[in-house]
Structure 1
């Protein structure tokens, strides 16, 4: 499949093949990520609908949102140990292969008609996704001759397109099969997608950089023994604790959801505090970390609202929206294809706008872009109040209202997410240069953990009052970031 996308390069040998002018290994990683995202986003589109459906687990909307948010929180939380595992144990290439197998097994477990196994399947997909997410991007970087290779940025752009192609196609295919035919068949189709991705990764791995097979900083024998012992001790403690809870008849789903959600808030705070208090950091690095905390908190607020597009809004669409265009009805899961198609359409436009403004000396600063992203995601929930009001009057809200919300959120994402990735690499202390991308993902964890805790507490996230409060919070946070932009800019030092 990938070989059909290659072409002869302009190399001196005339025999080396490239992938649209990039190293041949990019085709392998492009296809792996595309199929992994196909499986991930397809299952994600089905998840909240299956949780509330009478033919699914038939849970309440609040419980479904809590499970969905905890799951997303766990995926991004596990990206941090996933990166550590690739760096210290197996190396990126073997870690991605293992991750693909775990993800495929998780989707197959979801395909089994068993409520108990369903949660185990979610756990496996989360573990595999955390392992893969942290390592596959690293291997893209390995294909190029250092950070100054002129093809590097273009390579990551091509790779990013693979993510969005998979994310766009999967709700249309997996969502349709899951909703219209059989839920578990949809989950099985997600497993098939991951199997295709894993198969072509194994076949095409010979085209990857040799560095991808190397363990950068392997554990010593003593560290390996100590890590294994600590892991087994914590597993034993968890097994004994949950065994007692189950045997005494006190176990409910919240015994699983609450600890993960709390960890999703505590761990990001602990990681940031540990870095901020590190005495090895000089004054400039300490100042940049103080500024970074502003961006981190802003991003957590952003993702708290943004990720409800797959839970709160999806559940609302299932019960209260007229999911049709010009009389043609479509599955609810198709809404999840709106964001990736908008990303593919608008990302080049935004790149052009930033360059054009930069040439004129008018490009907004990183701080202003972040503030704009927060205001926009808040505005999207103010728009959400309109279909909520329509549904409250006993009518079905038009599908275009939901599309409008996703459009505003996507514009907000394009002003905040790429900038956040960039500023993370620029402001990272030298000691934590390889870890800071995992720290950035923890902002998503914190946002989704907050959503899950609200849902566990019984808060109706699709209530007009709650939606208005979240919208106002995001706008207020955006205004606060903008008002304190001079102070944050001073803390950032030479980073612009």
Structure 2
């Protein structure tokens, strides 16, 4: 592992296979192993996520009558809170994951370690028992955090700077790989887990991650040389100070929970609420620290100010979008008809609808942006974000309709969820791949990988709000709460659109 940009590394970069030779749909061939690695990692992640809430409520009072037992028999509110805080932690840990890529291992080695940790976590989930379940969940969250920002950074390394015209298209193709894995996972892992055996489903997720790891190791020779470089390695003094801080905080947490548990006061909320609050405090602290960094140039400082607008918008977007695996998952399980033309299907199949829409619509959106750009009519990034916010708000206005129809024990047509996911997907395609690319363009050089971690913290913030609402026993499946969220997202979208000139002024040369 190289510790700095040496002369040899620089020479290697100029002849890297990422810059010439074979291509992958007109892009550097290094995109292929990254595409496939992320596809299998998402297969394992979304398969487990599709099972998570229905497994947690299985065998309990909130489970669907006649459904498979063998789960943890938790109340629905607790299950939604666990789901939300788990997803939040996956994205929260992307920040230290980016730090490890920037300061300790470099992106390539970090991804290798991350994939191994994720695979181990899924193997623990495949072992029955509450302790192994929560240990496995923690490992998957840690591994996913290590992997996310670093693999996206390596995609950015394949292109010739922020102005490379292929860059947005490359991230869109990468995003399609994510959604191929996300589409297949509920159909395979969800069906096996929900209809045959929960732990066999988790075991299939482990096998998927193992395959992704093998593909990544095979494809490393096609990556850019910068992917093996540690941009700003820790000094010996910094390593020692970091280790001491980590041990100190670990000791504080152990002492605190030792007292709480030893006095018999521990409940699930003692874990969920502090983590959720941490998930809101950390993004604010990190953005403030980056903004105050005196080593950044004036241009970089201005871009960070502009980036905060996109971050807040994304947090509101993901607050609603990520309920696909919680509020919408339980709605699909208990209040949506589970057969079409006499064909029965498990509720986890609904988790494949969004990625199916992505695969259908992403090429259309990619073509549309290029077509409009050639005519100098492509919407700016700011306008795309405003469109995404209004779209996600509209999806929950629509969701309120079947919510109301299902009151009194009725079930509704699956067509409602298909339509809601379509609207959400259109918003997602205006925000998510665009946001990934925007982050790599606006990131200060000092925080190259870490800024992608900051982007993922927007998901953390949104999901932590949902965790706090669930632990406060707010009726998240109530029509009033759904409409309130829809209105908040729509108003946020309008605010971004109205402020677009100011935001674009802060972005400098990035559009």
Q: TM-score, normalised by structure 2?
A: 0.88
| Residue 147 (structure 1) shift | 5.5
CA RMSD of aligned residues (A): 2.5
How far the C-alpha of 1:366 sits from its partner, in A, is 2.6
Q: Aligned pair count?
A: 484
Shift of 1:202: 3.0
Residues 132-152 of structure 1: CA deviation (Å, up to 9, x unaligned): 112222333444565566765
Aligned to 1:118: 133
Paired with 1:422 and 1:141, the residues of 2 have a C-alpha distance of 8
Of 269, 278, 293, the residue aligned with 2:284 is 269
Deviations 1:358-377 (A, max 9, x none): 34443333322222211111
Tell me: CA distance 1:64–1:84, structure 2 relative to 1, closer, same or farther (3 Å): same
1:30 aligns with 2:45: no
Kindly indicate whether residue 400 of structure 2 is the aligned counterpart of residue 382 of structure 1.
no
Distance 1:169 1:219, change over 3 A: same
Rounded to whole Å, the distance in 2 between the matches of 1:471 and 1:150 is 35
Q: How far apart are residue 451 of structure 1 and its match?
A: 0.7
384-393 vs 479-488, which moves further: 479-488
Residues of 1 paired with 2:221 and 2:441: CA distance? 33
State the match for 2:119 in structure 1: 104
Q: Secondary structure at the match of 1:435?
A: helix
Kindly state the Cα deviation for residue 96 of structure 1 after the two structures are TM-superposed. 1.4
1:2-401 equivalences under 5 Å are 19=24, 23-54=28-59, 55=69, 56-143=71-158, 155-281=170-296, 284-401=299-416
What is residue 13 of structure 2 aligned with on the other side?
none
Indicate yes or no: 2:457 matched with 1:442.
yes
Q: Relative to structure 1, is the Cα distance of residues 156 and 301 closer, same or farther in structure 2, using a 3 angstrom cutoff?
A: closer
Deviation at 1:347, TM superposition (A): 1.3
- Closer, same or farther: CA 204–357 of 1 in aligned 2, 3 Å: closer
CA distance in 2, matches of 1:321, 1:157: 32
Q: Which has the larger displacement, 480-489 or 346-355?
A: 480-489
Q: 1:192 to 1:147 in 2, by over 3 A?
A: same
User: TM-score when scaled to structure 1?
Assistant: 0.91
The 1:219/1:282 distance shift into structure 2, 3 A limit, reads: closer
- In structure 2, what is the Cα distance between the partners aligned to 1:59 and 1:198? 33
Give the secondary structure class of the aligned counterpart of 1:462. Answer: coil
CA shift, 1:115, in A, is 1.2
SS of match in other structure, 1:113: coil
Unaligned stretches of 5+ residues in structure 2:
1-15, 60-68
Moved more, 443-452 or 358-367: 358-367
C-alpha contact 2:102 2:449 (8 A) present in aligned 1: no
Pairwise CA distance, 1:207: 4.2
Tell me the distance in 2 between the aligned counterparts of 1:146 and 1:290.
21
> How far apart, in 2, do the equivalents of 1:16 and 1:249 lie?
64
- Classify 1:19/1:432 alpha carbon distance in 2 versus 1 (closer, same or farther; 3 Å): closer
Cα distance in 2 for residues equivalent to 1:87 and 1:213? 10
Shift in alpha-carbon separation, 1:371–1:140, aligned structure 2, 3 A: closer
Structure 1 regions of 5+ residues with no counterpart?
A: 1-10
C-alpha contact (below 8 Å) 2:104/2:234 kept by paired residues: yes
| Distance change in 2, residues 1:430/1:28 (3 Å) | closer
After TM superposition, give the deviation of residue 72 of structure 1 in Å.
0.9
**Aligned-pair CA distance for 1:27:** 3.4
Query: In the superposition, relative to structure 1, how do residues 44 and 374 fare at CA in structure 2: closer, same or farther (>3 Å)?
Result: same
* C-alpha distance 351-17 of structure 1, shift in aligned 2 (>3 A): closer
Aligned residue in 1 for 2:477:
462
